[in-house]
Amino acid sequence: MKIQTSGLQLDLGESLRAYVADKLSSAVSKYMDNAIEGQVVFRRERGVYYCQCAVHVGAGIEMLAEGEDTEIYGSFDNALDRLAKQVRRDKRKRRNHHARMPDAEDAA
């Protein structure tokens, strides 16, 4: 998965970029194997950091989550929790529950 990390009027370090790449790819790939790209944007307003995460999973499926905190890592963690919840719910919704219905004759 290709991940783009940027900051609006912020200088992001390599440790934050590596942290974002590692956590985002592991959280999304846990539920969706075919994720195409992710974009994470950080900004700061009045001492509060905001993080916006967007993930393009495929076939017109794009998920967006935002988080805020007084720490930049905390804002990303909040956004990632919301994004992981969206991906998990979407995976559950798309699952085919009728794929393998056991026959009554096989059980007897």
Residue-wise pLDDT tens digits, 81-92: 999 898 888 877
| Cα–Cα distance, 97 to 78 (Å, whole number) | 31
Residue 33, classified by CB atoms within 10 Å of its CB into exposed (0-12), middle (13-18) or buried (19+), is: exposed
Which residue in the block uniquely carries the two structure tokens 């992710």? Answer: 38
Q: Which pLDDT tens digit goes with each residue over 50-94?
A: 999 998 887 777 889 999 999 999 999 999 999 989 888 887 777
Q: What domains does the chain contain, in order, with CATH numbers?
A: 2-94 (3.30.160.100)
